[in-house]
Amino acid sequence: MKSPDFIARAKEIENVVVDWRRHFHSHPELSFDEVETSKFIAKTLTELGCENVQIGTFGRPTGVIADIKGGKPGKCVALRADIDALPVTEETGLPFASQNAGVMHACGHDGHAAMLLGAAKMLCEVKDRLPGSVRLIFQPSEESAVVKQGARAVVEDGKALAGVDAIFGVHLWSPLEAGVLGYTTGAMMACSDSWTLKIHGKGGHGAAPHQTHDPTVAAGQIICALQTFVSREIEPIKNAVLSVGIMKAGGAFNVIPEEVELTGTARSFEPQISLDCEDFIRRVGENIGAAFRCTTDLEYSRNLPPTVNHAEMALLGAENGRKVFGADNVRELKPTMVGEDFSFYLEKVPGAFFFIGVGDEAKHTTWPHHHCRFTIDEAQLHKGSAFEALCAWEFLNKA
């Protein structure tokens, strides 16, 4: 069936979507603390005519799922937005800046929630003609994915993906120029692993190193050796990152410490590389440590799997993106090493994740994500709503 004119309708409701975004922006809440945000979303979805509106089905009172049930039988497609903010003190000077001290929507999730409400509004308006249903997932705690794991909690809870045949998600993206839709047909964002290697030595006086087993020297050699993971262990055409972010050692200039602790991250697009990386860090730690009479132990956590788009879904999105953003404004991107917990959904159902560019020098919207002056080009919001509505409509009509 010919799709409704979501593009024109989205332009008509642009002010509503922008107002929603500004409301969320003024009232940011941290990961798994999105209580008022969830209430606002649930109330709005109910008013729009959604069914099965449920808050906090994930063991906490945050996050919302809801259904738009079409007038005809068919499949179920999910659209997901994340809704949490960051522990950042806002310095944008915007009239609708954060009213919650020390908390800021510095990643665009305010826009994600608003765009999905916009898509929901338009899909509700045509639901009689819709073959199948749309599951709306307003996911808590994306930002705190390492510790609190929003998407993992949603997926494990089971309700959000029950009966879902495909899923789409978007992220407003300041490194990409405003008005451009970016996608990949495979790996889009990396896995995010974290690790801590403890190097145990024997401390002592800084002037008597021969009486110690100095863990700082072992740590230095280990850090250098870790650099060879990418250059010597990975197939050259593949990608990985292994970085040390924290070194903890000692407390006095004249004392050789007992222990050094190294903490870092590892990123890649393949589960095997992540396994190999853990093995490599352990091997290098143990063996270089032993050479310096130190022992080591490693804790390694796989926090986020890689976000890998399903080609068919990515291409469906790109095709619809060309209608919304223009044929010249849809681009296949290189993957990024940043992680995103949309990956948990893609492990369960086919789907794709897209970047909507919001970077515009003239509008001061090119600040990096998580920066205290980060903001978005609001002119892209209604396009995001149209894009999401169209992806859902077209998937259901092709299914």
Of 26-55, binders to Ni ion (CB under 5 A) are none
User: Smallest distance from the beta carbon of 142 to Ni ion, in angstroms?
Assistant: 6
Q: Which is nearer to Ni ion, 163 or 368 (CB)?
A: 368
DSSP string, 48-102: HT-EEEEE--SSSS--EEEEEE-SEEEEEEEEEEE---BS-------TT--SSTT
223: Cβ–Cβ under 8 A, 6 or more apart, which residues?
A: 244, 247, 262
User: Smallest distance from the beta carbon of 329 to Ni ion, in angstroms?
Assistant: 21
Q: Which is nearer to Ni ion, 215 or 339 (CB)?
A: 339
User: Smallest distance from the beta carbon of 229 to Ni ion, in angstroms?
Assistant: 27
User: Smallest distance from the beta carbon of 342 to Ni ion, in angstroms?
Assistant: 10
Q: Which is nearer to Ni ion, 139 or 212 (CB)?
A: 139
Of 53-72, binders to Ni ion (CB under 5 A) are none
**Residue span binding Ni ion (CB under 5 A) among the ranges 16-24, 101-109, 211-219, 388-396:** 101-109
Q: Which is nearer to Ni ion, 216 or 336 (CB)?
A: 336
Q: Which is nearer to Ni ion, 121 or 171 (CB)?
A: 171
Q: Please, are residues 356 and 170 in contact by the beta-carbon 8 Å criterion?
A: yes
Q: Which of 107, 151, 188, 288 binds Ni ion (CB under 5 A)?
A: 107
User: Smallest distance from the beta carbon of 288 to Ni ion, in angstroms?
Assistant: 37
**Residue span binding Ni ion (CB under 5 A) among the ranges 29-37, 54-62, 93-101, 102-110:** 102-110
Does 119 bind Ni ion (CB under 5 A)? Our answer is no
Alpha-carbon distance of 370 to 219, in angstroms, equals 31
**Residue span binding Ni ion (CB under 5 A) among the ranges 44-52, 106-114, 149-157, 323-331:** 106-114
b/e code 247-268 from CB counts within 10 Å (16+ = b): eebbeeeeebbbbbbbebbbbb
One-letter amino acid at 228 equals T
Residue in the block written with tokens 């407003």: 172
Q: Where are the alpha helices (DSSP H) in the chain?
A: 6-12, 14-26, 35-48, 109-125, 150-157, 215-226, 228, 271-291, 311-325, 343-346, 381-398
Size of the site for Ni ion (CB under 5 A): 1
Positive/negative CA dihedral, 310, 316, 322, 324:
negative
Q: Which is nearer to Ni ion, 199 or 376 (CB)?
A: 376
329: Cβ–Cβ under 8 A, 6 or more apart, which residues?
A: 179, 180, 181, 321, 322
Q: Which is nearer to Ni ion, 108 or 201 (CB)?
A: 108
Of 275-334, binders to Ni ion (CB under 5 A) are none
Please give the structure tokens belonging to residue 300: 């390694």
Q: Which is nearer to Ni ion, 270 or 377 (CB)?
A: 377
**Residue span binding Ni ion (CB under 5 A) among the ranges 33-41, 103-111, 301-309, 360-368:** 103-111
User: Smallest distance from the beta carbon of 174 to Ni ion, in angstroms?
Assistant: 11
Q: Which is nearer to Ni ion, 107 or 234 (CB)?
A: 107
Indicate the residue whose CB is closest to Ni ion.
Answer: 107
User: Smallest distance from the beta carbon of 355 to Ni ion, in angstroms?
Assistant: 11
User: Smallest distance from the beta carbon of 171 to Ni ion, in angstroms?
Assistant: 6
Alpha-carbon distance of 103 to 91, in angstroms, equals 11
Alpha-carbon distance of 259 to 216, in angstroms, equals 8
User: Smallest distance from the beta carbon of 215 to Ni ion, in angstroms?
Assistant: 37
Instruction: Tell me which residues touch Ni ion (CB under 5 A).
Output: 107
